[in-house]
A and B are shown apart, each in its own frame.
Chain A
């Protein structure tokens, strides 16, 4: 099983700040890495597919990068509505796995 480790687990940030969340895979997964945002009491929403491709309708402040084992989700100029938990997800091999999540709090 491929383990995805996100860092940090929690981050408290101010609006307009730039945020970087990392996701490290226990073995190479190419670009089969996707990012989701989940707000309280809502279902997850896709942000980034295949490591760096933005999903339709996602604000341009969200971007992804990386390949192999190291990946990054960047949020430029954070907005209050970005308060949420963010998950990475690998679909390179079964079982599909998710990172443990990174909770962003807006100060």
Chain B
């Protein structure tokens, strides 16, 4: 059974930092690209970042570029999101999601974690 478990969320002051983790199990983690997607309270879904299976390709939303860093450790079956210079508008539930591609097509997120809440407030 595919499982994704996020951790590391919490309350942080504006300008602070936080590192999110996502522990993967039930599949060959090193074979899949991964996404971070966030959802502000009462709002819709927003893609944050993606990383390819070997970390060769990394992409960010403009809203987090230069402040957030995605990484992974395939030996530990783990995905990370280092968040620096946090702002109130970064307050959201952060989900990690597995990226699946078929037949050369683009990625869809077939499995999601339960999310971890990040609150940026003084």
Contact = CB atoms under 8 A, between A and B. Distances in A.
Chain B, interface SS category: strand
A99 B44 contact: yes
Interface of B: 35, 44-47, 50, 59, 61-62, 95, 100, 102, 105-115
A46 B114 contact: no
A91 B45 contact: no
- Looking at A34, A89, A91, the one whose CB has the most chain B CB atoms below 10 A away is A91
Contacts of A94: 59
A38 B114 CA distance: 11
A46 B44 contact: no
Interface of A: 31-32, 34, 36, 38, 42-46, 49-50, 55, 87, 89, 91-92, 94-101
Given A96-B35, A98-B45, 11 more contacts: A31-B105, A32-B106, A34-B109, A43-B95, A45-B112, A50-B102, A50-B105, A55-B110, A87-B44, A95-B47, A96-B47
Nearest to B103: A50
Contacts of A31: 105
